[in-house]
Structure 1
Amino acid sequence: MAAKSRKFNVAIVVLLGAYAVAALMVLTRPGAALSGDERAVVRIAHWQIEAGPREGIDAMIKRYLELNPHVRVEQVAVPGRIYKQWLRTQLIGGTAPDIIEFGRLFNADDIPPRFFEQISELVEKPNPYNKGTPLEGVRWRDTFKDGLDTPDTYIENLSNFYGVTLCTLSTRLFYNADLMEEISGSSEAPSSFAELRAFSEKLAQHNAGAKHPISMYAGSKFNGRILMGGMLSRAGVGLGISNDRLREQGQQVRDASVDYLRGNWDHRTPELLTGLKLMQEVARNLRPGFQQLERDAAMQEFMRGQAPMIITGTWDATSLTSLAPFKVGVAVFPWPDRSDKEVGQHFWGPLAEKDNTSFPLCVNRMSPHKKETIDFLHFITSVEGNTIFFEKSGWLPATRGVVVPEEQQVYLPSPVGLPVRTPYIEFGAETATLWQRQLYRLVSPQGSVEEFLEVFEKEFPDALKSDLRNKTRHLTLSLRHDMQPLIALAMLDRLLAPDPKRIHSRVVRESSQNIAETRLYEALAALERGLDVGTASRKDSSNGDE
C-alpha cells in the first residue's frame, strides 16, 4: 500500500508540475498578463492548411513587422473539419482571434451581425499602404478586383461590408501528362466534352488489359461534388433565366426555392434531366465509394498515378505542382456547351466563371487592438502585401495591380458570359443531406435517374421547405438588426441639416431593406400556400407577363 501511495504522490506532483509549466507559458506569452512583451498582439485565424497560404501569410507578417516593430502578429491555422465548431466556441467564449476567415459556406448567417465589426466606412477610404502606387488615393474596396462585390464580404441583408479578401480562386483540371500520353497518345488534356468522352473510351481499353485498373478522375466527396454539381447547374442556366422574374441574369437560390414551391420547375424538366444523366456519367468515371472519401484521398490517388486527372480548386495548385513526382498539366475543364451534338441543346453560353475574390477576412468586434488589426488588413491587401502573398503562396491575388506571370494566367477565371447561379442540388443543410443520402441510387453501377428521382422527389419538398424556413428565420433577424440604423438615419434627417452622404446611405439601406422584405414575404407565402401563390407559367415568366 505504501508503494502505491508513493507512486500516486509522484504522479500528482508530475501532473501539477506540468500544469504549472503550461500555465506559465500561457501567462507569459506575448500579450498575456505576465508577459514582458508590451507589443499589441494581432492574431489571424484561417482554415487554409494547404501548401502555400501559411507560407504566404508568414512572409507578409515578416514584412509587416519590419514596418511596424511595435506590433506582433500571430497566425492560427485550424483544419477545416473542425474550424466551424472551433470558431463558434471561440466567439461565444470571447477568446476568438482579431482577424477571422469566414464565409457563407458555413451557413451561419447569425455570426457576422453578432460578432464581426462592420467596415462599410473604412472601405470607402484609401488604403494608406498603397501610397506611391497606381492605387494611391483609390478607395479601399475599389482596389480589389471585384470591388468586394461578393456575399462573403458584403452582406446584402445587413447592407454592410464585413470583410476584405486576399486571393482569387478558380476551378481547374489538373492532369498527369505522362499518364495521359500513355493512355491516349497525347500529353494534352481534352479541349471539348466530346474529346473527354473519347478519352474515357481509350481509358476503358487501357484498363481492359491492366492488372490494376485506374479511374479517369481522382475521386472524393468534394471532387465528385464539383463534377456532378457543375453538370447539373450548367444544364439549368437556361431554366434559371426563364424563371428570373427579377431580371438578375438567373435566379438566386432563395428565389429558385420559392419558384419550386410555386410549381414553376422540378427535377424532371428537360434541362435538369439532362444534367442528372451527365451527373451519372461523370460519377461512373470516379472510383467506387468516392462519396465516403475526403478530398485528401483524391489528392493521394492522383499523386500515386492512379488517376490521370483531378478537378479541384486552384487552392490545391501549389500542393499538386510542387509535390507530384510527375509533370502536372493544367487546363480549363471542358464542360458541355451548345456545340455538343448530344446534349448541347440545353446548355446556354458562354458561361462566366465566378471571378469573386476569396479568402474573406473579418474583424472580431471584441478585438482589443482594432487599430492595429485594421492596419494589418490594410497592409496585406495592398499592392506590396498582396504581391508577397501571391509570390510565396502561388494563390492568385485579390488586389488590382499585382502582376500575374504568363505561366500562371491559366488559373485566372474568365468573367465573360452568363453567371451560373443556382446549383439545383443544395438549397441548404436539409437538401444537401438528402442529396448525399440518396445519391447512390443515381451513381452506383445498378442505379438510374428514374430510380433516384422516384425516391428523391418524395422527400425533396419537405427538405426544401425546411431550408427555406431556416433562410426566412435568418433573414427576419437580419432585417430586425438593420431597423435601428434605419430609424436613426431617418431621425437625423429630421433633426439635422441635409447631408447628401447620410441621405444616400439611408436610401441605399431602405432600398435593400425593401427588396429583402419583399423576398421574405414571398417566401413565407410560398411556404404557407405553395402552388396557390401565383399562377405564372415559365413561358409567361420568360415573357414578363405577370
Structure 2
Amino acid sequence: MSNTSRKFNPSWIAVIILVGAFVVSAIRFFLIASEGGSSDEAGGLKVIRVAHWQLEPGFRESMQWAMDTYNALPHVREANVRIEQEPIPERVFNQVMNVHLISGTAPDIATKGETTIIRGNALARFYAPIGEFVNEPNPYNQKAYQIQDLSDELSQSIASMPWRDTFFDGLEGGYVESLSDFFAIPVSTAGGNRVFYNMAIMEAVKAYAYQTFAREALPEWMTDLDRSLGQPDGFLPLERAKQWVQGPSIPETMGEWIFYCAAVQAYAEAEGLEYLVPISASIYPHNNVILRYESEFFANHWKRLDFDLGTTLSSIEVISGFDRKLWDFEDSTFQAYFDFMQTIVSFYPKGFLGLDREQALRRFVMGNAAMITTGGWDAQSILSGIAGRDRPEDRFEVELGLRPMPAEDERWYAQLPMRMTEANIGGGVPLAINKQTPHFDWALDFLKFLSSHRINEEFNQRAGWLPVIVNTVPPDAMDAFVPDMHGAPKQLAMRFDSSDIPSSIRNTWASTIKLFMSGDIDYTGLSQRISEVLDNPDLGVSRAWKISLQKAQDASRANDRVISVERLNATLGVENALSRERSLLYNSMNSDEGISVLRWWKETKPSEPFPTY
C-alpha cells in the first residue's frame, strides 16, 4: 500500500484570511444592525448620532454647543444618554447615507437628503414620520427653559402654541406632500442669495470714475455704456451714473451695477492690477449670478404655456411650449437673456468654469474681486477670512445687497420688470429620524430641544445663520439675508434645470450654456444644439411627454402601495396609521394617474397618437 504525501498549499492562507475577515465583518454588521445603527457603550450608555453635511465655520461648533448643553440636562444624564455629531462632506453625504440606511447602520438622526433611492414615497422606508407630535407644544419652550426677561405675552405664546407653529414657515421645510406627513425638523435657514461688495475697492473705483467724468473727452468704455435715443443698446444714462459715483451707496439698479463692473475693469487696467476682477465667479451655481436671473427672464411666458392656468408650470408645459410654437430661440426674451449672459461673463475671471467655490471665496477674501454672490451659509467664512488677514491694511469692510434689477430707463427693463420672490424659502438643514433607531424617543426629544425658542436662537447666533423659530433674534450679520417677500412666485417661471425635465434636455441645456459662457459657441450654435435635441423624437419633446405620463402614473401607484401598507399597519394596531391612510387616500383621490397629461396631448395634437417607448 503506497503512502500519498499531501503538501499544504500556501494559497489557502489568503482564503482563510478572507473568510475570517468576512465572518468578523458579518458579526459586526449583525451587532450594529440589531442596534439600529446606534453605538451603546458599556454601562448602558445610549449614544444618539447626528449626521449632517454643514462643514462651514461655526456650524459644527454651534451644533456641539447645543449637544453639550443637552447632554448636561439632569434628566438626560440620569438616562445615560449622549448626543454626538458626525459631519460628512456634502459631496459624499448621499452616497454614505444610501449605504448605511440600506444596511441598517445609519445614524439615529441625519439631514434629510434626496437621492435616486431615497426620494418621494421611498422616504418613508428609511425615515420615521413625526406628524403625530408636531401639534403638541414643545416642552422645551416652557418657562423653565425660556430666555430670561421675555415679555409675558411672548412667554405664554411660545409655551402654549403647537410645535409646528413655532417655525416661521409652519414647518413646511419638514413636510413631505406626497406622504402627507412631517418627516424632518429644520434647524436653520441661510436666507436668500446676496451680493457681497468690497467697500475699499468700491471707494477707490468711484474716485477713479469721478476723475474720469471730469475729462474733456470721455473714454470709450464709458460712452459705450450710455443709453440714449441714439444708443438704445447702452445700459443707463451716463448722467445718472455720474450721480451714483458721487454718492455713498452700492449699486441699486442693474445699470449702475454694470457701470460699476466696467469701471472696476478700467480701474484695474489703469492701476496695473492684473488679478483684480469685478465679480468672483466659479462653477458653483451660487457664485454664478447669471443663473440667478434665469427665472426672472423666463417668468413672462406662463400664461401662454400653462394648460390650465394653475399655480405652477409643470415641466411638460414648459418643454411642449417649444413644440407648440410658444417659444423658440428667436424669442426676444431668450435673446435678451443670452445677451445679458454674454455681458456679465465678461466681468468674470478667465476660466471661471474651472474654479470651485473655495477658489471664488478666496479670491474675494484676498481683495482680488470687487464682489461675489453667494448665500448666507458662506457669510461666516467670508467675514472671518477677511478679519483674519495678517496685515490690517488688507482687511476691508463688506456691504451686502440684493441682486439689482433694471430701472425703467435701463436696458432689459422690458424683460425684467419684477424679481422672483424669496417667500418660498423655508427652513433648512432638515434633520430626520432614522426609522430603525432603537432610541426614537430620545432622538425626537433632542430635535425638540434644538428647535426650542432659546436654544435655536443661541445656536444660530453662534453659527451665523438665520433661526427658524418665530420671534427669535438673528445675528446682526445675517439681517441682509432675511428673505425678500416682494416679487413674482418662482413656480411661474420656465425652468430648464428641473429634475422633472428629461435628462437629455436638461444636460444639453446645461452643457450648451457652459460652452456659450466660455465663448466656444455663439448664439446661433447654442440655438442649433438645443433645438436639435428638442426636435429629436427619442431625446426631446416627444420623450418629455412619455416621461411625464409615466411619472404621473408611477406616483399614483406608489401612493396606492403606501395606502396598502398603512391599512396593514392600522389593522395591526400601529398608532396614527389610520390617519395617515386617510391623508394618502385624499392624495389618491386628487391624483389622476396621468389623465391630465393625456388630455393636454389631445388638446395639442388631436390627430396624433400619444408617443410610446
TM tier, smaller? 0.7 to 0.9
- Assess, with a 3 A threshold, how the Cα gap between structure 1 residues 55 and 502 changes in structure 2: closer, same or farther: closer
SS of residue in 2 equivalent to 1:517: coil
- Assess, with a 3 A threshold, how the Cα gap between structure 1 residues 280 and 65 changes in structure 2: closer, same or farther: same
Aligned-pair CA distance for 1:444: 2.6
- Assess, with a 3 A threshold, how the Cα gap between structure 1 residues 263 and 198 changes in structure 2: closer, same or farther: same
SS of residue in 2 equivalent to 1:135: helix
- Assess, with a 3 A threshold, how the Cα gap between structure 1 residues 292 and 457 changes in structure 2: closer, same or farther: farther
| 1:260-275 aligned within 5 A | 264-275=326-337
**1:197 and 2:197 are equivalent in the alignment:** no
Paired residues of 2:186 and 2:468 also in contact (CA < 8 A): yes
Aligned-pair CA distance for 1:522: 3.5
SS of residue in 2 equivalent to 1:441: helix
| 1:318-329 aligned within 5 A | 318-324=380-386, 325=389, 326-329=395-398
Paired residues of 2:280 and 2:364 also in contact (CA < 8 A): yes
Aligned-pair CA distance for 1:523: 4.1
Aligned-pair CA distance for 1:337: 4.4
- Assess, with a 3 A threshold, how the Cα gap between structure 1 residues 223 and 426 changes in structure 2: closer, same or farther: closer
Aligned-pair CA distance for 1:508: 5.1
Aligned-pair CA distance for 1:277: 2.1
Paired residues of 1:40 and 1:372 also in contact (CA < 8 A): no
Return the alpha-carbon distance in structure 2 between the equivalents of residues 214 and 106 of structure 1. 42
Q: Structure 1 unaligned runs (5+)?
A: 1-11, 494-500, 536-546
Paired residues of 2:254 and 2:407 also in contact (CA < 8 A): no
Aligned-pair CA distance for 1:373: 0.7
Aligned-pair CA distance for 1:171: 0.8
SS of residue in 1 equivalent to 2:469: coil
SS of residue in 2 equivalent to 1:238: coil
Equivalent position of 2:342 in the other structure: 280
SS of residue in 2 equivalent to 1:345: coil
Return the alpha-carbon distance in structure 2 between the equivalents of residues 419 and 521 of structure 1. 27
Paired residues of 2:301 and 2:494 also in contact (CA < 8 A): no
Aligned-pair CA distance for 1:32: 3.8
Paired residues of 2:38 and 2:438 also in contact (CA < 8 A): no
Query: 1:116 is aligned with what amino acid?
Result: Y
Equivalent position of 2:313 in the other structure: 251
Query: 2:383 is aligned with what amino acid?
Result: T
Equivalent position of 1:424 in the other structure: 495
Query: 1:92 is aligned with what amino acid?
Result: I
Equivalent position of 1:512 in the other structure: 587
- Assess, with a 3 A threshold, how the Cα gap between structure 1 residues 503 and 337 changes in structure 2: closer, same or farther: farther
**1:433 and 2:507 are equivalent in the alignment:** yes
Aligned-pair CA distance for 1:82: 1.1
Return the alpha-carbon distance in structure 1 between the equivalents of residues 278 and 139 of structure 2. 50
Paired residues of 1:430 and 1:466 also in contact (CA < 8 A): no
Return the alpha-carbon distance in structure 1 between the equivalents of residues 102 and 284 of structure 2. 30
Deviations 1:458-494 (A, max 9, x none): 124626766776676565454334325656999999x
Deviations 1:38-81 (A, max 9, x none): 22221111111111211111111111112222311111111111
1:126 is aligned, of 130, 137, 159, to 137
Paired residues of 1:337 and 1:349 also in contact (CA < 8 A): no
TM-score by length of 2: 0.73
Equivalent position of 1:148 in the other structure: 171
**1:483 and 2:560 are equivalent in the alignment:** yes
- Assess, with a 3 A threshold, how the Cα gap between structure 1 residues 206 and 44 changes in structure 2: closer, same or farther: same
2:54 is aligned, of 48, 68, 89, to 48
Deviations 1:373-429 (A, max 9, x none): 111111111112211211110100011121125553212111233212346231225
Return the alpha-carbon distance in structure 1 between the equivalents of residues 200 and 305 of structure 2. 46
Return the alpha-carbon distance in structure 2 between the equivalents of residues 218 and 454 of structure 1. 30
**1:375 and 2:448 are equivalent in the alignment:** no
Paired residues of 2:186 and 2:431 also in contact (CA < 8 A): yes
- Assess, with a 3 A threshold, how the Cα gap between structure 1 residues 174 and 504 changes in structure 2: closer, same or farther: same
> Structure 1 residues 437-446 or 409-418, which shifts more?
437-446
Paired residues of 1:258 and 1:523 also in contact (CA < 8 A): no
Return the alpha-carbon distance in structure 2 between the equivalents of residues 117 and 109 of structure 1. 14
Equivalent position of 2:146 in the other structure: none
Paired residues of 2:318 and 2:494 also in contact (CA < 8 A): no
> Structure 1 residues 68-77 or 509-518, which shifts more?
509-518
Aligned-pair CA distance for 1:245: 4.7
Query: 1:85 is aligned with what amino acid?
Result: Q
SS of residue in 2 equivalent to 1:346: coil
Equivalent position of 2:111 in the other structure: 101
- Assess, with a 3 A threshold, how the Cα gap between structure 1 residues 332 and 533 changes in structure 2: closer, same or farther: farther
Return the alpha-carbon distance in structure 1 between the equivalents of residues 140 and 437 of structure 2. 22
Equivalent position of 2:351 in the other structure: 289
Aligned-pair CA distance for 1:432: 4.1
1:316 is aligned, of 364, 378, 385, to 378
Aligned-pair CA distance for 1:254: 5.9
Return the alpha-carbon distance in structure 2 between the equivalents of residues 298 and 109 of structure 1. 32
- Assess, with a 3 A threshold, how the Cα gap between structure 1 residues 356 and 469 changes in structure 2: closer, same or farther: farther
- Assess, with a 3 A threshold, how the Cα gap between structure 1 residues 530 and 315 changes in structure 2: closer, same or farther: farther
Q: How many corresponding residue pairs?
A: 504
**1:397 and 2:467 are equivalent in the alignment:** yes
1:333 is aligned, of 384, 402, 409, to 402
Paired residues of 1:427 and 1:464 also in contact (CA < 8 A): no
Aligned-pair identity (%): 23
Query: 1:71 is aligned with what amino acid?
Result: V
> Structure 1 residues 375-384 or 407-416, which shifts more?
407-416
Equivalent position of 1:299 in the other structure: 361
Return the alpha-carbon distance in structure 2 between the equivalents of residues 279 and 343 of structure 1. 12
Aligned-pair CA distance for 1:195: 0.6
> Structure 1 residues 140-149 or 347-356, which shifts more?
347-356
Equivalent position of 2:421 in the other structure: 352
| 1:440-479 aligned within 5 A | 440-445=514-519, 447-460=521-534, 462=539, 476-479=553-556
Deviations 1:300-351 (A, max 9, x none): 1212222111100100011111112323423233333463532111224353
Paired residues of 1:193 and 1:340 also in contact (CA < 8 A): no
Aligned-pair CA distance for 1:255: 4.8
Aligned-pair CA distance for 1:103: 3.9
Return the alpha-carbon distance in structure 1 between the equivalents of residues 198 and 512 of structure 2. 32
> Structure 1 residues 139-148 or 445-454, which shifts more?
445-454
Return the alpha-carbon distance in structure 1 between the equivalents of residues 38 and 126 of structure 2. 22
- Report the RMSD for the aligned CA atoms in angstroms: 3.8
Query: 2:336 is aligned with what amino acid?
Result: T
SS of residue in 1 equivalent to 2:172: coil
Query: 1:44 is aligned with what amino acid?
Result: V
Equivalent position of 1:239 in the other structure: 301
Return the alpha-carbon distance in structure 2 between the equivalents of residues 106 and 282 of structure 1. 35
**1:173 and 2:195 are equivalent in the alignment:** yes
Aligned-pair CA distance for 1:225: 6.5
Equivalent position of 2:95 in the other structure: 85
TM-score by length of 1: 0.81
> Structure 1 residues 314-323 or 80-89, which shifts more?
80-89
- Assess, with a 3 A threshold, how the Cα gap between structure 1 residues 523 and 79 changes in structure 2: closer, same or farther: farther
Equivalent position of 1:544 in the other structure: none
Paired residues of 2:39 and 2:47 also in contact (CA < 8 A): no
**Which structure has the larger Rg?**
2
Paired residues of 1:430 and 1:463 also in contact (CA < 8 A): yes
Equivalent position of 1:532 in the other structure: 605
SS of residue in 1 equivalent to 2:374: strand
Paired residues of 1:241 and 1:251 also in contact (CA < 8 A): no
Return the alpha-carbon distance in structure 2 between the equivalents of residues 95 and 502 of structure 1. 26
- Assess, with a 3 A threshold, how the Cα gap between structure 1 residues 451 and 515 changes in structure 2: closer, same or farther: farther
SS of residue in 2 equivalent to 1:124: coil
Return the alpha-carbon distance in structure 1 between the equivalents of residues 46 and 275 of structure 2. 57
Paired residues of 2:304 and 2:326 also in contact (CA < 8 A): no
Return the alpha-carbon distance in structure 2 between the equivalents of residues 533 and 360 of structure 1. 45
Return the alpha-carbon distance in structure 1 between the equivalents of residues 178 and 38 of structure 2. 36
| 1:111-122 aligned within 5 A | 111-122=122-133
Paired residues of 1:31 and 1:39 also in contact (CA < 8 A): no
